[in-house]
Each structure stands twice: as structure tokens, then as C-alpha cells.
Amino acid sequence: MKNLFSIAFLVLILVSCKSKDEKVTTSDEPNNSNQTIYFGGDILTMEGDQPQYVEAVVSENGKIVFVGTKEEAMSKYKANEVDLSGKTMVPGFVDGHGHFYNVGFARQVANLLPPPDGPCHNVQSVIETMNEWKETDDGKFVFETFGYLIGHGYDDSQLEEKDHPKATDLDKISSEFPVMLIHQSEHLGVLNTKALEMAGYTKDTPDPEGGHIRRNPDGTPNGVLEEKALYNVLFPLLGKATPEYSIRCIKKSQDEYASNGYTTVQDGRTTSDQSKIFRDAANNNLFYLDIVSYPDIDEKGFTMDTAFYGKTFKNHYRVGGVKLTLDGSPQGKTAWLTECYFVNPPGQEGCYKGFPIMDDDKANAYLEEAFKNKWPIICHTNGDAAIDQYINAVSLASKKYPNPDHRSTIIHGQTLRKDQIPHVKELGMYCSLFPMHTFYWGDWHRESVLGEPRASYISPCRDVIDAGINLTSHHDAPVVFPNSMRVLDATVNRVTRTGYILGPDQRITPYEGLKTMTIWGAYQNFEEDSKGSLKEGKIADFVILDKNPIKIDPMEIHDIKIVETVKDGESVYKLN
């Protein structure tokens, strides 16, 4: 594996090396190539409760060595000069939550996303897209690698049928080979008849713990799989990834994150196979962004026995803690609620509330293990019942193994209730919320998932901040693209696809929105001493924007362009 990885790495270097010395504008004859002075625009430090600007920042050998006036910078440092020409510079963005490896995976399989991110608006367009993709070089490469035809991103809430494709639909893509389509939420998927046979899913197959097999009236699987019913097929399949495929995933992922201004990236549910891939990548110096991995504590092959665990990056990679998943997807209607769904999914009768992934005893045991070992933990909890389970587990674990600075984080927290927020604060927990839902699924939440008033309270950023809880806002890529300006826009404006403002009282200011992506993200990662703001001694991670999000009409935030991304003082992305 390592030799193959090394060969693939050398090939990657040849095809993807960047001009890391490119800047916005530079002087013709720099005096010190290790020093760079930035000036001439809005330089927002992200220090303090109110916006603070400085005239100049100087970086040297990957660190910030000066923050202050242009006059003093010019008098003290004779270095490369970068005139921002009126653009805005902020700290590099810190990813609140996403799935780094899966971004590259999703970019190589068929794109089944609905508009505006993809072509699939009904089941027929899903079939046509798959049939076109399987004839492409990517389609052939994926099939050769996995033995499956794979698509990613279909969304029943956006399809004309308002339903999932079924196995019989996928048989029109192939009846000879297995086909798997992954829902945009990544909590559901569909298999064709051949794949169901290979998985051993029949009329007599019981639902796995923490999962559900949707069925035809006669009890046979209809192809749609929820949660662990899907993961029991998907995760072993991903384990078949070759070094070449993994190299391509890592390259595509890093390039996409860098183009969106992210300099620190999260892999928020790392399998044991992906952990091996990341270790090899780090040992071969493949990462140019900082990657923080959270292995899945509930996976059979889970281990924290690695030299990469800790708060120090080794070749831009570290294991930051563990990930626990307690429920599913609200838009997919597998999240675990305390009240009924507004409209039940197919096959469910009465007061359907979704379901837990595990019982309380198992969840409590995992939290106790994390606290005992002082592993930071991030926990997927969308439904308020799952959030209750997590809060209770943190409370029990913290009493048995006290840790005043554990920063246990709620991931997503879509239906976080107002009465839960004080308990989150009291326990010293953090929140990484997902207000991108307001744009992508806000209308669906109102019409089908939650109804009002619950829909307007999804991702209650204003109340979380006002309670004094550290907040980050994320994209959960590849669930949606890691588009930083879309993240900021949704966090600040909460506008749905149809233009409805969902929960106007939960909007926050553009400056607070930037904090969720910079200094507060650094706090979530235990990296506030080295990242998240422009301060002497911190890492020289910068993003240059064509406009200042604080000074323009907030409704224009999503149109802001990332001009350049700088990691450790070197340019890793520049807008063409």
C-alpha cells in the first residue's frame, strides 16, 4: 500500500502542483522571500466582540509576526508586498463540520444533486444522468474500483415525485451490475435488484439495529435503505478504494476546500479504512491544508491507537477526537424527534417520530469511554430526542470523569429546543449548527418535515449565541458543497429556496457569522491559540475576499468571491 501510495503521490505532484508564490500583487524585487506584508484593504482581525481592522499584517515562515499600521510595518520589514487593492482579508476559515474524504468521493461518482447544484429534478432525470455517467471515464474508473455503479446526491424532497427512486427504477440503469444511489443527506440510499441480492436483503431480512429497510406491500425490500441498513453495504464498499482512487479523493477534496477559503478541514466520521488512507497520505506529505479527523467510535474497527492523535499536526494531519452518531436526517425523516413528523414518510403510520441509532446504555457507555480517555467528542444529533440522549450522556460521563474543558459538540442540532439550551451551556458543551438547511430544505421543513412553528426554530443560532455557547456553522459536505459564502449567507439571512425568511429572530450579524467560521471554529478544535484570528504568533492562514461581508447588503453575501487562500503563508488557491 505504501509503495503504491508513494507512486500515486508523485503522479499527483506532477499534475497538481500550484504556484504557491502567486499573490494579489507583489513587488518586483522582494527583499526577504520569507516575509510578506499585506496592506491596502480591509484587514479584519476577528479579535474582540466588535469588528477590528488593522492597516497591515506581516507573515514570516508561516507565522504572523506583525499586526498594526502600514507605516510601522514598512519601516520594520523589507519584504514581499501584497497590495489588497481594496479587497478584504480575514483569517482562514475553520471547517465546523464536514466529511473531507467523502467530498472527493462524491466528486468522482455521478452527480445526482437537484438544481442549482446538479441536474436531477425527477426520477427519470436520475436514470438518464446515471446512464450517461456510466459511459464516462469517471464512471468506468469507479466501476473498475468498486464493482458498483454509484451516484450521489439525489433528494426526494426536490424530485417531482416527492419520493425516492426504487430498485425497479435502478434496474433501468443496469440489471446485470449492482447500482447504488446515495441520498443527498447520506443517511439513506437505494439499491437495484442485483445489489439487494448481493447484500442478502430479502423479505425475511430483519431491520438492523439503528436502520430500516423500506419494503413493498408483500414485505420484499423496495430498494430504499435507511441509516445502518445502508451503511452495512456502503462502508465495506468504500473499504475497496484503491490508493489511486484515494489519492484522487484527497486531491479533489483539498482543491475544493481551498477554493472556498478553508484552511482547516474536518473529516467528521472517519472509518478505519479511511484512517489508514489518511495516515499514508500524511506520511507521504500529501496534505497542504490542515485535516482534523474524528474516527467513528461505533465502528467495529475503531481504534485511537495512533501517533496522529493529539493537538499537534503531523504533516498537516491529526486525529482530534471521536465521532458518535445518535440519529439520522430530518430531511430524510430518520432524525429522532420527541414530537411527530408533520408528514410521515412512506410506510409509516400514526405518530411517527423517527428512531434512535442506539439505546441509552450504549450511548452512555460511549460517552463514558470518551470522557475517561479525555477524547474530545463530536456527536451527530439532529432530532431533539437524540439531543436529549446526548445531553444526558454528557451529564453522566462528566460526573464520573470531570473535565472542565471537554468542549463536547452537538453536530447539526437541527431541532435543538429552547429548553435544552441552558443544559447545553451548563454542561460546557459546544454547538456546530447547520443553518444551510434554511436554504436547501427550509421549505421542505415547513411543508413536510416539521411544520410551523418548529420549522422556524431549526438551527437556532441567535439563541445559542445569546446563551454564551460557542457556535460554529457548517456545510456537512458533501451533503452540500463546502461553499463558505453560502454557509455565511444562510447563517446570517436564513432565506429558503423560495425566498421565505425562516425564523427571522434566529438570524445573526455578518460579523458573528464570520466568527462561527474563524475564531469560534478554532475554539471548537482546541486551536484558538494558533488559529482563528489575525494576531502575532498565530499561523499565517488568510482568506482574501472581493468584498467585505460586514459592509455590503447581507443579501449579497452569497455572491462574494474567494480571491485567494493562503495557508502557512503560502498561496494554495487563487481565483483565475
For the stretch 224-278, pLDDT in tens is 999 999 999 999 998 899 999 999 999 999 999 999 999 999 999 999 999 999 9
First to last CA, the chain: 36
Q: What is the pLDDT of residue 79?
A: 86
Displacement of CA 538 from its chain's centroid (Å):
24
Q: What is the pLDDT of residue 52?
A: 98
Percent of the chain topping pLDDT 70: 94
Give the residues across from 473 on adjacent strands. 433
| 29 and 133 within one domain | no
| 55 and 140 within one domain | no
Can you give the residue range of the structural domain that contains 44?
1-92+535-576
Q: What angle do CA 508, 514, 520 make, to 5 degrees?
A: 95
Predicted confidence (pLDDT) at residue 6 exceeds the cutoff of 60: no
Please check whether residue 137 lies inside any domain of the structure. yes
Q: What is the pLDDT of residue 10?
A: 41
Round to whole Å and give the CA distance between 293 and 278.
Answer: 9
Please check whether residue 563 lies inside any domain of the structure. yes
Q: What is the pLDDT of residue 489?
A: 98
Task: Give the cell for residue 258.
Answer: 481551498
| 157 and 81 within one domain | no
Q: pTM of the prediction?
A: 0.92
Round to whole Å and give the CA distance between 219 and 440.
Answer: 33
| 124 and 80 within one domain | no
Q: List the beta strands (DSSP E) in 304-376.
A: 317-319, 322-325
Please check whether residue 254 lies inside any domain of the structure. no
| 128 and 224 within one domain | yes
Q: Average pLDDT of the chain?
A: 94
Sheet strand arrangement including 221-227: 110-111, 149-154, 179-183, 188-191, 221-227, 211-215
Convert the pLDDT of each residue in 475-515 to its tens digit.
Answer: 999 999 999 999 999 999 999 999 999 999 999 999 999 99
Q: What is the pLDDT of residue 3?
A: 44
Domain boundary among 238, 266, 293: 238
Residue with cell 487593492: 85
Alpha helices in 27-87 (DSSP H): 70-76
| 135 and 213 within one domain | yes
Predicted confidence (pLDDT) at residue 25 exceeds the cutoff of 50: no
**Number of structural domains, the chain?**
2
Parallel/antiparallel/unpaired status of strands 80-83 and 35-44: parallel
Predicted confidence (pLDDT) at residue 29 exceeds the cutoff of 80: no
Alpha helices in 435-533 (DSSP H): 436-440, 442-444, 461-466, 484-493, 510-516, 519-524
| 163 and 61 within one domain | no
